[in-house]
């Protein structure tokens, strides 16, 4: 045997080593992307870890540095999928027993696709001056897109909703939830840019460090500077508001057969509250609020009449309301007066896909045998506002708190106070109700209004205009809250800007993407590639 034959296959070993050297950085970046998605999840309620959100984008910024379009999409998918699998785990708690993991996994994958595309597009703007600003705008572009399409979108998990407290929340009064999210992302990407510069160039040239340092520090400093401007004092008096939380069975989809139980629970808790009022153990409220769909209403309702008469004060009754001239029902809030009965009502404008209406019904029927046995609810068309108890009250319902326009339109119509009737009993004891409560806290600061959350099974809460929760209830228990809340008429800059708080980052992102694409094409043409 020759010496050559005894030699080790060095070419094969070298190829293996090269493959390993190529794969290890890819694996490391995938792990960092997934870890960053998990960190982002941890920044959301019920944990008060708002400061983790910028760090999640620091990790994402490190992963995306120097990556090309499709590679960035892959890392963005790892980031987004990890985040959404954890963030909307409550969908599995809700539907898993009857439908398995497909709804949870499928929706998480669809939502992660938006983030994957955003990360790919971020590569087009990553070399522009002040890159963290343009990259953050691109991320908000995907938030806008997935909040509107398809089927009216799914706005859960917007970055601004991770910040009901902390340094960034005052920015909500200036630019709403979009500006809060923008500030968080700019901070994280700015820190990533600073770390990359220090790794590659040290602390020289110092002029090149100005932009990443500014991006890291200025958003939080701007938020802190705005704290004194958040108004909490009454401007047109106060109202004593009571919440009736009657409770509901913790049975997931089994609630479909528990309508009578939920109604009976709320009638019973309303009676307990009335007894406490007459006994003087709680203050007499000016207004009582029932949760979302706490009862069915089809025409006159003597039991609700009696309950409101016993309370002796005007009430807002959350109901599945079917007018006599319609075959469809509204998810409604009804103004109910003692001695007079029901009056005006607000009908929910943003219905929950596959729960309150079925989009693409013909296609959906291929996957679910229940579709043919359900009816869509009616879409509301009027602003979420009712005049009751001498007060103009904004009344967005449940899921609508995730959208920017319902509360904004209510304030524009004169709302001095916001109430949020909701029914989260479907989702068990998971994080969904706390995530929604965080959204309500952001809306309080955004609009400078107190928010009263009335939930069938918790968490009900009293939120001050600065986002502070002053009273709340537990989960899956019958309870009432009674508290004074300030009435306010001052309009925040966010309300004055209106929908431009959403449109501005979309326009900025679109412009930056076009400029980045043109510059990249010119650079490629100049190098002959």
Same domain assignment for residues 352 and 397: yes
Selecting among 119, 350, 398, 431, the annotated active-site residue is: 398
Could you tell me the two tokens for 163? 């910040």
Q: Are residues 139 and 259 in the same domain?
A: no
287's enclosing H/E stretch is strand 287-289
* Judgement on whether residues 514 and 452 belong to the same structural domain of the protein: no
Residue 403: how many CA atoms within 13 Å on its side-chain side? 23
Would you call 165 a catalytic residue per the annotation? no
| 479 part of a folded domain | yes
For position 1, what pLDDT does the model report?
Answer: 46
- Report if residue 7 sits inside a domain: no
The answer to whether residue 336 is domain-embedded is: yes
Instruction: Say what the pLDDT of residue 358 is.
Output: 84
* Token pair in block for residue 257: 């057969």
Q: What is the pTM of this model?
A: 0.94
Judgement on whether residues 126 and 216 belong to the same structural domain of the protein? yes
- Of residues 116, 124, 227, the one with CA closest to residue 166: 227
Task: Give every CB contact of residue 127 below 8 A, 6+ residues apart in sequence.
Answer: 516, 519, 520
* 3-state class (DSSP) for residue 51: coil
In a domain, 297, yes or no: yes
Q: Which residues have C-beta within 8 Å of that of residue 200, sequence separation ≥ 6? A: none
Same domain for 187 and 257, yes or no, is no
Residue reference for tokens 């949870």: 104
Residue 364 has a pLDDT of 62
**Pairing of β 287-289 and β 295-297:** unpaired
**What does the alpha-carbon distance between residue 240 and residue 21 come to, in Å, rounded to a whole number?**
67
What are the C-alpha distances in Å from 47 to residues 19, 36, 44, 164?
A: 41, 16, 6, 11
Question: Which residues does the chain have with pLDDT short of 70?
Answer: 1-10, 12-15, 17, 20-21, 361-373, 526-529
Q: Choose, from 119, 143, 292, 356, the residue flagged as catalytic.
A: 292
Radius of gyration of the CA atoms of the chain, in A: 26
Give the domain range for residue 65.
24-229+499-527
462 shares a domain with 519:
no
pLDDT at 527: 64
User: Are residues 467 and 356 part of one domain?
Assistant: yes
d(CA 184, CA 210): 18
Whether 348 is catalytic: yes
Active site residue: 119, 143, 348, 446, which one? 348
Domain assignment present for 1: no
Residues in CB range of 422: below 8 A, 6 or more apart: 291, 292, 397, 398, 401, 433, 436, 453, 454, 455, 456
pLDDT at 357: 87
Number of domains the chain contains = 2
Q: What is the pLDDT of residue 355?
A: 83
Is 398 known to be catalytic? yes
CA–CA separation, 437 and 443 (whole Å): 10
In a domain, 249, yes or no: yes
Q: Say yes or no: 330 and 347 in one domain.
A: yes
Domain presence at residue 488: yes
Q: Are residues 330 and 273 in the same domain?
A: yes
Same domain for 387 and 345? yes
Beta-strand pair 315-321/295-297? parallel
In this structure, what are the phi and psi dihedrals at residue 447, rounded to the nearest 5 degrees? -110, 0
Q: In terms of DSSP H, where are the helices of 88-171?
A: 90-99, 102-125, 131-146
Q: Using the 8-state DSSP alphabet, how is residue 357 labeled?
A: B
Do residue 108 and residue 150 come from a single domain? yes
Using alpha carbons, list the distances in angstroms from residue 432 to 83, 105, 459: 14, 17, 10
Quick one: 444 and 304 in the same domain? yes
């Amino acid at each position: 045997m020759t010496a050559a034959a005894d030699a080790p296959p060095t070419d094969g070993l070298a190829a293996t080593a090269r493959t390993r050297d190529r794969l290890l950085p890819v694996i490391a970046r995938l792990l960092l992307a997934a870890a960053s998605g998990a960190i982002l999840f941890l920044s959301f309620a019920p944990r008060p870890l708002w400061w983790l959100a910028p760090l999640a984008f620091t990790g994402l910024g490190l992963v995306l540095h120097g990556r090309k379009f499709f590679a960035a999409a892959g890392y963005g998918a790892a980031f987004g999928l990890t985040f959404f699998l954890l963030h909307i785990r409550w969908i599995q708690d809700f539907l898993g027993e009857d439908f398995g993991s497909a709804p949870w996994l499928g929706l998480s994958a669809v939502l992660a696709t938006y983030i994957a595309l955003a990360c790919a597009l971020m590569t087009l703007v990553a070399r522009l001056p002040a890159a963290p600003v343009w990259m953050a705008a691109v991320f908000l572009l995907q938030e806008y897109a997935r909040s509107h399409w398809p089927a009216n979108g799914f706005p859960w998990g917007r970055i601004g909703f991770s910040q009901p407290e902390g340094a960034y929340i005052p920015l909500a009064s200036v630019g709403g939830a979009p500006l809060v999210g923008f500030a968080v992302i700019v901070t994280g990407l700015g820190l990533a840019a600073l770390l990359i510069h220090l790794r590659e160039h040290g602390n020289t040239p110092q002029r090149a460090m100005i932009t990443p340092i500014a991006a890291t520090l200025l958003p939080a400093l701007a938020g802190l500077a705005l704290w004194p401007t958040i108004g909490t004092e009454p401007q047109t008096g106060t109202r004593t508001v009571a919440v009736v939380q009657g409770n509901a069975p913790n049975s997931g989809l089994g609630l479909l057969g528990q309508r009578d139980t939920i109604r009976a629970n709320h009638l019973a808790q309303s009676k307990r509250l009335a007894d406490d009022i007459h006994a003087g153990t709680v203050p007499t409220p000016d207004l009582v609020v029932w949760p979302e769909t706490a009862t069915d209403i089809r025409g006159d309702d003597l039991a609700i009449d009696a309950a409101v008469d016993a309370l002796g004060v005007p009430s807002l009754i959350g109901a599945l309301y079917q007018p006599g001239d319609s075959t469809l029902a509204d998810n409604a809030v009804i103004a109910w007066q003692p001695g007079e009965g029901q009056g005006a009502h607000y009908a929910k404008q943003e219905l929950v896909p596959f729960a309150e209406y079925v989009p693409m019904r013909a296609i959906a029927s291929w996957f679910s045998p229940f579709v043919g046995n359900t009816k869509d609810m009616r879409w509301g068309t009027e602003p979420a506002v009712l005049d009751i108890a001498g007060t103009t009250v904004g009344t967005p319902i449940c899921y609508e708190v995730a959208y920017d326009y319902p509360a904004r339109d209510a304030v524009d119509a004169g709302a001095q106070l916001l109430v949020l009737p909701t029914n989260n009993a479907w989702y068990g004891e998971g994080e969904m109700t706390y995530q929604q409560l965080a959204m309500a806290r952001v809306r309080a600061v955004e609009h400078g209004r107190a928010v009263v959350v009335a939930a069938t099974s918790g968490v009900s809460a009293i939120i001050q205009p600065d986002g502070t929760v002053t009273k709340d209830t537990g989960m899956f228990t019958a309870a009432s809250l009674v508290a004074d809340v300030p009435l306010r008429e001052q309009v925040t800059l966010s309300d004055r800007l209106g929908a431009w708080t959403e449109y501005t980052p979309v326009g900025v992102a679109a412009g930056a993407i076009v400029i980045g694409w043109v510059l990249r094409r010119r650079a490629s043409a100049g190098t002959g590639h």
